[in-house]
Amino acid sequence: MTRGIYELTESFRIAFGQIRANAMRSVLTALGVIIGIVAVTLMGTAINGIDIGFNRSLALLGDDVLYVQRWPWRRVPDWWNYVNRPAIQVEQAERLNRIFEATPGSLLEVAVPVGARGTNVKAGDVKLGGVMLFGTNSDYSRIVTAEVAAGRLFTEFEANAGRSVCVLGSGVAENLFPGRPALGQTVDIRGQHFSVVGVLAKQGEFLGLFSFDNQIIVPLNAMRKLWGNRMDLQLRVKVTDKTKLTQAEEELTGAMRRVRGQLPAERDNFSINQQQAFKEQLDPVKTGIAVAGLFITGLSLFVGAIGIMNITFVSVKERTKEIGTRKALGARRRTILLQFLIEAVSICLIGGAVGLAITYVTCLGISGALPELPVEFSGSLMIVSMAVSILTGVISGFAPALGASRLDPVEALRYE
């Protein structure tokens, strides 16, 4: 046991002596590993970032909210089956809520009607186009995913009365009232003056497609005064237990069919969406990117590994006589094997550490320059890439090291 430790320290001593003695050669060989590790870890970081971005976006939808809509959140090749579906009605939310209350042990808590449409708004001289306007009632406070940064959401009274009050997304607030508090100001929506009662905290973009901060929330009744039914209406239903989303969805389907008075033979004339559906759509894409990316960057690491193998073969050849001497002095096979393995692993570890440092600095640079990008340099990435470095060294060093350990001492001593 102690002998093993002494042999190990001797092996490290030889390895670092060897690397120092052949500095140029070692640096060039390590460069292959450095490039490989940088490529793989940057790819890993990017994949990690994509994952984080996806999850952040999905969290904005709420993981305990089901969306009842005319269209599903996926591409439908048979669009003609959907286009004639009846519109969602505000009253259906109230009827759903009555069913929820009447159902003992219901997994559904509350249904909230949300009308949506794009519009232009104005505040003083500042005009803002392409704002998402949401109309809803006071139950919205139970499903909202954003924090209220200032003020409040509107009350039940304001909602029912259709009062001209609004809650601004952080982006809208900044754009309309740069450098001053939006609370208490007035926003002009289609000629109607809405007073700002609340501002939401910053939420970010959804998959880079649109910003959740670019929204204004008003009472649905106020919105209907301006547009009537010319809006996209959906029902958002909060579930009581998010671990039972599937059952909740089934219950909601049944309730909605009752509300719609659908016959048993009829197909659902509505869709129930949830963030899980997005995940299912996006996961294969994510996996595809990860597999392809890691494979391609893995190739560069493979080239680095070949370099290590080559240099270890050269090292064994050069030191054949030394191997013979060591064997004559009592080095056993595994001692010689270990010596050359450690030499290969040492170069890989140095390459891996330098590569990681480069990746780390690159990540810092990227997140400094583009703070929007979810670049994450994780500890697990560090451990994994060091493990990969060691593995690369062991795999690429094994064949030459084994050859060295099996050399015939007589022939090795005779080698010039």
Partner 1 sequence: MIAPLPPVATARSYRPPGSLVIRIEGVTKLYRMGAETVHALRGVNVEIRRNEYLAIMGPSGSGKSTLMNMLGCLDTPTGGRYDFNGKNVAHMVDDELAEIRNREIGFVFQTFNLLPRSDALHNVELPLVYAGVGPAERRERALEALKNVGLGDRVHHKPNELSGGQRQRVAIARALVNRPSILLADEPTGNLDSRTGEEIMALFEQLYDQGNTIIVVTHEEDIARHARRIVRLRDGLIERDERPGA
List contacts with partner 1 (CB under 8 A). 2-3, 6-7, 10, 17, 21, 321-322, 324-335, 409-410, 413
Would you say 126 or 328 has its CB closer to partner 1? 328
Shortest Cβ 392–partner 1 spacing (Å): 26
Residues 8 and 20: their CA atoms lie apart, in Å, by 18
Residues 108/112/117/120 CA torsion (nearest 10 deg): -130
Q: Are 187 and 216 in contact (CB under 8 A)?
A: yes
**Of 4 and 130, which has the nearer Cβ to partner 1?**
4
Q: Distance (Å, rounded) from C-alpha 239 to C-alpha 115?
A: 20
Rounded to 5 degrees, φ, ψ at 55 are -65, -40
Kindly tell me which of 142 and 333 has the beta carbon lying closer to partner 1: 333
6 versus 80: smaller Cβ distance to partner 1? 6
Distance from C-alpha of 45 to C-alpha of 47, rounded to nearest angstrom: 5
Minimum CB separation of residue 13 from partner 1 in Å reads 8
Task: Find the shortest distance in angstroms from Cβ 293 to partner 1.
Answer: 43
Please identify, using beta-carbon distances, which residue of 17 and 124 lies nearer to partner 1: 17
Q: Where are the alpha helices (DSSP H) in 76-126?
A: 90-102
Which residue is listed with tokens 């601004």? 168
- Minimum distance from residue 408 beta carbon to partner 1 (Å): 8
Q: Which C-beta is closer to partner 1: that of 193 or that of 406?
A: 406
Which residues on neighbouring strands pair with residue 112, listed in sequence order?
236
Compute the distance between CA of residue 210 and CA of residue 21 in angstroms, rounded to an integer. Answer: 58
DSSP state of 202: P
Distance in Å, CB of 363 to partner 1, minimum: 39
- Alpha carbon distance 235, 249 (integer Å): 13
| Shortest Å distance, C-beta 25 to partner 1 | 15
Closer Cβ to partner 1, 166 or 316, answer by number = 316
In the complex with partner 1, the residue whose CB is nearer, 3 or 75, is 3
* Nearer Cβ to partner 1 (244/317): 317
How far is residue 92's CA from residue 111's CA, in Å, rounded to a whole number?
9
Angle between helices 320-328 and 275-318 (to 10 degrees): 80
Q: Could you tell me the CA-to-CA distances from 155 to 159, 180, 226 in Å, in that order?
A: 6, 25, 20
One-letter amino acid at 306 equals I
Q: Look at the chain and count its residues.
A: 416
Instruction: Kindly report the backbone phi and psi dihedral angles of residue 133, in degrees, each rounded to the nearest multiple of 5, phi listed first.
Output: -105, 125
Question: Min. distance of Cβ 399 from partner 1 in angstroms?
Answer: 19
Closest distance between partner 1 and the C-beta of residue 368, in Å? 44
Which residues fall within 8 angstroms of residue 5, CB to CB, at 6 or more apart? none
Minimal distance, residue 341 CB to partner 1, in Å: 17
